[in-house]
Amino acid sequence: MATLRLGDIAPDFKAETTEGPISFHEWLGNGWGILFSHPADFTPVCTTELGTTAKLKGEFEKRNVKVVALSVDPLDSHNSWIKDINETQNTNVNFPIIADGDRKVAELYDMIHPNANEKLTVRSVFIIGPDKKVKLMITYPASTGRNFNELLRVIDSLQLTANYSVATPANWESGQEVVIAPAISDEDADKKFPKGYKKIKPYLRLTPQPNL
């Protein structure tokens, strides 16, 4: 199996979920998507992650992002686990969880790393753009919960790049200055960025975040 890389088309698949069957590309529609995997149901770190995801529904919707989770456990296990998540995290799971008992999706996305564990998916996350291409991949060890503020930050950065031809510097947070893409000439930058920009080096030009 070929390794999935940034810029590749995210593999399409059909799957059963806690919200009914989905065909992945069709389900994504024309928006952005996050697909993230969990080592197993009824595990402590995953329980906190899914609760956090549910609480961030409004933030994902603002960014036109659909979220879907995956575990290799069956649907009835997922449905029982959701009750625990809702109870312990004081929320209501409001997104689908894929039942990937045959590990078909996990293998498509290389979510099982035999050196870590032959049976369980690692803690992978994929951000997928409206063009169905993979924009980000992060793989965490099973013991480390994901930083969802970082995922929102990356989505904000990716959407700025897609819409305004800018990049974001180290530790950038929404509201801070962004970097004008080097491919844009100063002449075009004058027209494209009416708020102006600071030219620190020919390749390093900072401008206020253009969508604010």
Give yes or no: 182 in active site. no
By CB atoms closer than 10 A (0-12, 13-18, 19+), residue 124 is buried
Query: Would you give the distance in Å from CA 33 to the centre of its chain?
Result: 6
> Which listed residue (46, 54, 69, 112) is catalytic?
46
By CB atoms closer than 10 A (0-12, 13-18, 19+), residue 45 is middle
Sequence letter at residue 180:
I
Measure the CA–CA gap between 45 and 107, rounded to whole angstroms. Answer: 22
- Tokens 């029982």: give the residue: 80
Cα dihedral 98, 104, 110, 116 sign: positive
Which two three-digit tokens encode residue 98?
């894929």
CB proximity list for 115: less than 8 A, separation 6 or greater: none
Question: Hey, which residues are catalytic here?
Answer: 46
